[in-house]
Structure 1
Amino acid sequence: MDQPDPARRARRRDRWADLAATPRGEGALKRWLLLGGQLVLTVAVTWLIVDRVDLGLGELRGLDRSMWLPSPLLFIAASLLLLVAYFVSAAIWGRIVRDLGGPGLPVADSIRMFMIANLGRYLPGKVWQIAGLAALAKGRGVPPATAAGAAVIGQGIAVVAAAAVGMGALLGGPDPYPTWGLVGLALVVLAALLLAVPTVFQRIVGLWFRLTRTAARPEVGGMHALRWLALYTVNWAMYALSFWVLARSLGFGGAPIPVASAFAAAYVLGYAMVFAPAGLGPREGFLIIFLTPHLGAAPAGVLAIVARVWTTLVEVVPAGIFWLGHMARPSAAADTPEERAP
């Protein structure tokens, strides 16, 4: 005879309690709680940011459909420029690997590994991209500490470069943005000067290799840091230009420098929100804030949403193709699971 419902519910509660009491159950519970907390925090921060410009979903729904449809030629041009910018980022990483004492990687290999590892950016936290890049590069003879170090140090310098490009959004905005822009510009200049000091940069690089317990101590100095900063600044100018072309493809005007540089500024602030995968949510909120004085709240919201879909597709689709090609290689079957980590 079937057990009564109260008894069945009691047994079910006991099973869940036993599961939660095991180490595996505790770990799973913690992961779900962490993901839930990240989701709540992401939504709350995004809402607080967007609320500053009084932009609601109803206003976006009421827009003419044509505002969401880009001009095909300009959209293709923006997408190609963005893809080239992604590839340039990969080539810079390969250059940093060589400067840190690693082997000289072919540009094609750097692009393939970098794009595949970028899939990890869409997971919570900032470590998956770097871990995947180190694992993939190991199969090409790059020490994991060198590959990860090139990614970590390079990303830090890239954020400084993005901040430099993003200053145009503050300096070209309404009060009090220019004041904050001057403060930000001073901080960027200070960061560049510190990187240029040989002993400072050598200690930064040396600290990384000590933390990873690696015997290698590459001979790099301030000139390397300035070279990488210059390369990343050009790289971020390409990202900003591709975003401006995207805005033009949607028929939006606005001064080129504030509109283009808003993309870089929003990236830096979104990157600081470590709880949001790939800055999802907060980055769009900051982008709307920077664009609203130049385009209006509704067009800024449209551009922010389209830009998120656009950047994701231009990054994920080629990365997926590279990943499939990597798995189809005869040597892929012999790789360890760690070497195949995305």
Structure 2
Amino acid sequence: MATDVIVRAPVVSAPTRSKRALVLKAARVVLAVAIAASIVYAVVRLWPDVRDTLLALNGWTIAGAFVTAMLAIGANVKAWQAVLRELDHDIPTVAAGQIYLVGQLGKYLPGSVWAFVLQMELSLRAGIPRARSFAASLVLVGLSTTAALLLGLFGIPTLVGVGGAAVWGAAVLAPVALICAVPPVLSRLVDLFLRILGRAGLGHRLRLLGLLRVMGWSALAWTLFGVHFYLLGVGAGGGLTPTLLDCIGSFALAMTAGLLAIASPSGLGVREAVLVASLSPFGGVGTALGVALASRLILTVADVLAAGAAAWSARGLHPARPADAPEPTL
């Protein structure tokens, strides 16, 4: 005679749940304060060096650079949404923006992991398990980096004489990134990652069309960021005459280099070094540094405003139970 075996989830007492919720709330407050302090510190630190450059720019140039930066951030939100769709979580653009934009503020803390941690926690509001959210973040970083390395080819002619490290890094990483972006390879990597975390695999192969959609949105974002940098470079004067393709390629490589500098908050210093190297052949190093720092400041303001708008739109929402979470047992 067969006997049914019922496995129940462990019962967590109300005091334990309350204590855990209090600890999580305190951790969120501490993290929010740390992010705010890091952003304020970055702005205060940059301001003396960037002030003269901003004063040399006219209002239309600054406005154009800011708008293109915001459009680039929006394209990144669409890339994040496309990644989630490939991982079986089709959510609206507004919800994707709430997760991605607020989570991205974590990059202003030393260590690249904080943005992932924030996105994992925020994903629960949309019913996305933490493991899937973490996998989505890694996939997006990989495909976005692949797109950046390909666009970075446009910046190599300028950087080859003054930015050897960035050029050789792109030459080595680009073929590896392309191989990892092939659907069968990437599908196996995601499955392996989920199983290491003790979660079920995808159960399907990632689609080429879906991955191309992610890379397309990422490429658009990098292109818009390059336009943002081009507007600042041309508008600053000082003899700077970069081409648009130079700026697109160089900015993509600079952001990739900043991403690999894990210990640096949002790649601070590393990104500017590549950008200065890309502009210095067209004019003075001082002006090039001013433009790079002005770009950093404008992008920081854009990140904060975009995240603020996303957080405001999410007010009153409560976390949802992930689709694969066990039913609570009383």
TM-score for both structures, normalised by structure 1: 0.71
> In the alignment, which of 95, 115, 122 is matched to residue 101 of structure 2?
115
Q: C-alpha deviations, 1:113-141, integer Å up to 9, x for none?
A: 21111111111111111111121111111
Mean Cα deviation higher: 180-189 or 220-229 = 180-189
Q: Which residue in the other structure is 2:37 paired with? A: none
Residues of 2 paired with 1:291 and 1:244: CA distance?
10
Change in 2 beyond 3 A, CA 1:258/1:97: same
Q: Is 1:133 paired with 2:113?
A: no
Aligned residue type for 1:94: Q
CA contact (8 A) 1:172 1:178 kept: no
Change in 2 beyond 3 A, CA 1:163/1:138: same
Residues of 1 paired with 2:159 and 2:123: CA distance?
42
**Structure number with bigger Rg:** 1
Q: C-alpha deviations, 1:214-260, integer Å up to 9, x for none?
A: 11424234614444333322221122122212323323422222233
Q: Which residue in the other structure is 1:167 paired with? A: 153
> In the alignment, which of 88, 92, 100 is matched to residue 87 of structure 2?
100
Aligned residue type for 1:212: L
Q: C-alpha deviations, 1:88-118, integer Å up to 9, x for none?
A: 111111111111112x211111112211111
Q: Which residue in the other structure is 1:214 paired with? A: 199
Change in 2 beyond 3 A, CA 1:194/1:111: closer
Q: Is 1:76 paired with 2:78?
A: no
Q: C-alpha deviations, 1:282-313, integer Å up to 9, x for none?
A: 22122212221123211111101111111101
Deviation at 1:178, TM superposition (A): 8.3
Residues of 1 paired with 2:84 and 2:54: CA distance?
43
Instruction: Please list, as runs of the form range in 1=range in 2, the aligned pairs for 1:168-207 lying within 5 A after superposition.
Output: 168-173=154-159, 175=161, 181=167, 184-185=170-171, 187-196=173-182, 198-207=183-192
Aligned residue type for 2:60: L
Residues of 1 paired with 2:165 and 2:262: CA distance?
26
In the alignment, structure 2 segments of 5+ residues that lack a partner are 1-45, 322-330
> In the alignment, which of 274, 291, 299 is matched to residue 286 of structure 1?
274
Q: Which residue in the other structure is 2:135 paired with? A: 149
Q: Which residue in the other structure is 2:73 paired with? A: 86
CA contact (8 A) 1:171 1:181 kept: no
> CA RMSD for the aligned pairs?
3.1
Identity over aligned pairs, percent: 22
Deviation at 1:179, TM superposition (A): 11
Q: Which residue in the other structure is 1:247 paired with? A: 233
The runs of at least 4 consecutive aligned structure 1 residues that moved more than 6 Å come to none
Indicate the SS of the match to 1:101.
coil
CA contact (8 A) 1:259 1:294 kept: no
Q: C-alpha deviations, 1:176-235, integer Å up to 9, x for none?
A: 768974883574245324422x43222111112112211142423461444433332222
CA contact (8 A) 2:79 2:214 kept: yes
Residues of 1 paired with 2:215 and 2:51: CA distance?
42
TM-score for both structures, normalised by structure 2: 0.73
CA contact (8 A) 2:163 2:277 kept: no
Indicate the SS of the match to 2:241.
coil
Q: Which residue in the other structure is 2:325 paired with? A: none
In the alignment, structure 1 segments of 5+ residues that lack a partner are 1-56, 337-342
Residues of 1 paired with 2:225 and 2:307: CA distance?
18
Aligned length: 274
Change in 2 beyond 3 A, CA 1:226/1:260: closer
CA contact (8 A) 2:159 2:278 kept: yes
CA contact (8 A) 2:258 2:270 kept: yes
